[in-house]
């Protein structure tokens, strides 16, 4: 969250904490982030599925909308129905450009009727902020608080048990996609949201940048006794892909629409006149030509971002893998990619070109992993 001085990657307030833990650090979209800690990606993945994983997501962006027209401004920007939110309720949605392409995928939090928070992807903070200002800058106050806000994600079946001793906030009654403001965690002022990006139950804890490291240490101590671990970007990717959660920059970008991306459930065409609505309505009426398909590899091979996808019938290249990995919990190699709609149906076969070797894959519907 330091300002970039040159091409040096930016660091989060937890950078020193990661080094002390022995993390392997990489430059990820301009941010120096832990890719894994000494126990490795598979162990970190497993810890999150069976106990608790904690993630530094301080690099993510927080943009506040305040004023009597805040709700109207947010609705102009996003495809989901903002009017359904109430104080303390959040929702997943996307912001589109006028042609229906996705500017970013994000979570909108309604703090009060005249105060909304939008959490955006780290790599998109500047782009989103500019887009928001361009579209609705005169409607309400829009403030980018990314540099002063810390965010730690605490995910897994034991997340509530691990977090409970550190806070008096009523965690048990906090439902999914609900959040609490003005609470304390480990004696530090914080907001707690029941959200995440792993397919597990869990929390995301917002705090002041200065409190991020002490809070991280307290959470680390709290989860250690329950088998919890810090988790890097490597396992964050295997966890989110098993849960079939999209990654902006891979599965979503300015050229893909939410309808193509399988995010039709966050597009409410009657929610209001949001940016991109007309284009999405046209696409909805005309029908899709391509869709983001999830697939499991049938042969030995791991699909990776950018690998060509071929139609087994014609041999023609029909798309590219947008995300692919080992699915440690599902025990299969899995991936996502845009393919023609006829090939996007469950049961369709695809050939993934794994560095010259065609490996068969089968299209499946829904998440690869669902928590029990």
Partner 1 sequence: MSENVPNDLLYTEDHEWARQEGNLVTVGITQFAVEQLGDVTQVELPREGETLKRREVLGTVESVKAVSDVYAPISGKVVKVNSPLHDSPEYVNEEPYDGGWMVQIEISRPDELKELMNAQAYEEFLKEHEG
Contact flag: residue 298 with partner 1 (CB under 8 A): no
**Residues 228 and 156: beta-carbon distance below 8 Å:** yes
Residue 4 burial (C-beta neighbours within 10 Å; 0-12, 13-18, 19+): exposed
Least spacing, CB of residue 40 vs partner 1, in Å? 5
* Range in contact with partner 1 (rule: CB under 8 A) among 12-20, 155-163, 255-263, 295-303: 295-303
* Range in contact with partner 1 (rule: CB under 8 A) among 5-13, 37-45, 77-85, 334-342: 37-45
**Residues 323 and 335: beta-carbon distance below 8 Å:** yes
Pick one of 302, 330, 353, 367: the residue that binds partner 1 (CB under 8 A).
302
Residue closer to partner 1 (CB basis): 95 or 297: 297
If residue 153 lies in a helix (H) or strand (E), which one and from where to where?
Answer: strand 149-155
End-to-end CA distance of the chain: 37
Residue closer to partner 1 (CB basis): 164 or 296: 296
Contact flag: residue 35 with partner 1 (CB under 8 A): yes
CB atoms within 10 A of CB 51: 22
Residue 356 CA to residue 304 CA, distance in Å, equals 13
Q: How many residues of this chain interact with partner 1, rule: CB under 8 A?
A: 18
Per-residue x/- track, 241-280, partner 1 (CB under 8 A)? ----------------------------------------
Residue found under tokens 């303390």: 88
CB atoms within 10 A of CB 372: 3
Least spacing, CB of residue 355 vs partner 1, in Å? 7
Least spacing, CB of residue 21 vs partner 1, in Å? 16
Contact flag: residue 34 with partner 1 (CB under 8 A): no
Contact flag: residue 300 with partner 1 (CB under 8 A): yes
Contact flag: residue 80 with partner 1 (CB under 8 A): no
Contact flag: residue 325 with partner 1 (CB under 8 A): yes
Which is it for the CA torsion 84, 90, 94, 98, positive or negative? positive
What does the block give as tokens for 8? 């040096």
Residue closer to partner 1 (CB basis): 89 or 304: 304
Strand partners, 324: 335
**Residues 315 and 358: beta-carbon distance below 8 Å:** no
Q: What region does 108 belong to: left with phi over 0, alpha with psi -120 to 50, or beta? A: beta
**Residues 117 and 109: beta-carbon distance below 8 Å:** yes
Contact flag: residue 238 with partner 1 (CB under 8 A): yes
**Residues 92 and 104: beta-carbon distance below 8 Å:** no
* Range in contact with partner 1 (rule: CB under 8 A) among 39-47, 126-134, 222-230, 288-296: 39-47
Pick one of 328, 351, 359, 369: the residue that binds partner 1 (CB under 8 A).
328
Contact flag: residue 21 with partner 1 (CB under 8 A): no
Contact flag: residue 358 with partner 1 (CB under 8 A): no
Residues forming the site for partner 1 (CB under 8 A): 24, 35-36, 40-42, 234-235, 237-238, 300-302, 304, 325-326, 328, 355
């Amino acid at each position: 969250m330091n300002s970039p001085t040159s091409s040096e990657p930016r660091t989060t307030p937890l950078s020193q904490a990661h080094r002390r833990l022995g993390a392997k650090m990489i430059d990820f979209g301009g941010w120096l982030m832990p890719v894994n800690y000494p126990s490795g990606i598979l162990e970190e993945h497993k810890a999150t599925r069976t106990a608790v994983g904690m993630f530094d997501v301080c690099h993510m962006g927080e943009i506040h909308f305040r004023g009597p027209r805040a709700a109207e401004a947010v609705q102009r920007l996003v495809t989901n129905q903002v009017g359904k939110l109430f104080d303390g309720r959040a929702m997943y949605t996307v912001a589109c450009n006028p042609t229906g392409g996705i500017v970013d995928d994000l979570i909108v939090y309604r703090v009060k009727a005249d105060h909304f928070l939008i959490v955006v992807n780290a790599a998109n903070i500047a782009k989103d902020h500019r887009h928001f200002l361009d579209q609705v800058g005169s409607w309400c106050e829009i403030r980018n608080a990314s540099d002063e806000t810390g965010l730690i994600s605490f995910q897994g079946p034991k997340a509530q048990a691990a977090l409970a001793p550190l806070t008096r906030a009523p965690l048990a009654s906090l439902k999914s996609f609900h959040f609490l403001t003005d609470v304390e965690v480990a004696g530090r002022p914080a907001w707690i949201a029941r959200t995440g990006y792993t397919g597990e139950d869990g929390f995301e804890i917002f705090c002041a940048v200065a409190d991020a490291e002490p809070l991280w240490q307290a959470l680390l101590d709290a989860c250690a006794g329950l088998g919890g671990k810090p988790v890097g970007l490597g396992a964050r990717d295997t966890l989110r892909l098993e849960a079939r959660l999209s990654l902006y920059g891979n599965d979503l970008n300015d050229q893909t629409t939410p309808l193509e991306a399988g995010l039709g459930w966050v597009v409410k065409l009657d929610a209001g006149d949001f940016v991109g609505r007309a284009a999405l309505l046209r696409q909805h009426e005309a029908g899709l030509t391509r869709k983001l398909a999830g697939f499991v590899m049938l042969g030995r091979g791991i699909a990776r971002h950018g690998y060509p996808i071929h139609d087994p019938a014609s041999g023609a290249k029909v798309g590219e893998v947008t995300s692919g990995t080992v699915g440690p919990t599902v025990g299969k190699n899995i991936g996502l990619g845009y393919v023609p709609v006829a090939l996007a149906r469950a049961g369709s076969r695809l050939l993934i070109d794994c560095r010259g070797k065609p490996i068969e894959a089968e299209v499946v519907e829904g998440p690869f992993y669902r928590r029990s």
